[in-house]
Amino acid sequence: MHSTALLFFTSPLALALTLPPRAEPCDAARQWTIPNVDYSSQITYSTPAHMATSRASIEFTYTSSTNSETSSCTGYSTGQQDSGAFFAFPNPTGCTEAPGSATVSTFSYTGPTKNLNINETFTCEGNTYLAAASTQLALQCKETVYNNPNWTTPGDIYSAKTVACEPLSVILTPHIFKLG
Ligand SMILES: *[C@@H]1O[C@H](CO)[C@@H](O)[C@H](O)[C@H]1NC(C)=O
Ligand SMILES: *[C@@H]1O[C@H](CO)[C@@H](O)[C@H](O)[C@H]1NC(C)=O
């Protein structure tokens, strides 16, 4: 009688019900939610030969499921004559972290492949970790070309190429690496 009762109260089930919930391990699986990737570009000419502006931007935030912190990331690319030539090479760029956050995030975007790469380093229980995710963005974009039918004056817009994309949401599952 007595030994049966003892077994019951020390069973794993009883322990699970009485102990406080355990903190998540440092390398716990997590998701990064990106509600909106915003990509656009503009190229304008003020004469047939003079490019007046040439600029593309990619902008997004992502929120981690482990700590609900949001990082804000923005990248620019300039100086291209073709809409498809922006962000020719990956260029690691820092993101802005949530106030008081101990994480450091960088991202890179490669235009020709539409590849987005995000790295986040963080410390946990005295160790440094890297969470890294990479994806090909399924951006649906439209290029609009405008030619001024009646251009005479340098300073007026001679022509413009504008790219605008549908809002895109993405969920990433980063791989976690212990760096030391
Ligand atoms: C992410 O980390 C890997 C490995 O250190 C590095 O090769 C890559 O350039 C990094 N990318 C970014 C966007 O920081
Ligand atoms: C172009 O400019 C001329 C002179 O200002 C004007 O008469 C003509 O209607 C304009 N054409 C167009 C397509 O705007």
pLDDT tens digit at each of 180 positions of the chain:
444 444 444 555 554 555 555 577 999 999 999 999 999 999 999 998 999 999 999 999 999 999 899 999 999 999 999 999 999 999 999 999 999 998 999 999 999 999 999 999 999 999 999 999 999 999 999 999 999 998 988 778 999 999 999 999 999 999 999 998
Bridge partners (DSSP) of residue 142 are: 164
Model pLDDT, residue 55: 98
Range of the domain at 69: 26-178
For the Cβ of 149 lying below 6 angstroms from any atom of ligand 2, the answer is yes
- For residues 47-74, one letter each, b for 16 or more C-beta atoms within 10 angstroms of the residue's C-beta and e for the rest, the string is eeeeebebebbbebbbebebeebbbebe
6 inside domain: no
For the Cβ of 150 lying below 6 angstroms from any atom of ligand 2, the answer is yes
3 inside domain: no
Alpha carbon distance 49, 119 (integer Å)? 40
11 inside domain: no
Residue 153 CA to ligand 2 center (angstroms) comes to 13
The residues, ordered by sequence, that sit 6+ positions from 53 with a Cβ below 8 Å of its Cβ are 42, 43, 44
**Total number of domains in the chain:** 1
Alpha carbon distance 159, 47 (integer Å)? 8
89 inside domain: yes
Alpha carbon distance 133, 37 (integer Å)? 15
75 inside domain: yes
Which atom of ligand 1 approaches the CA of 132 most closely? 1
10 inside domain: no
12 inside domain: no
For the Cβ of 152 lying below 6 angstroms from any atom of ligand 2, the answer is no
18 inside domain: no
Q: What's the pLDDT tens digit per position in 104-135?
A: 999 999 999 999 999 999 999 999 999 999 99
Annotate 85-101 with three-state secondary structure.
Answer: HCCCCCCCEECECCCCC
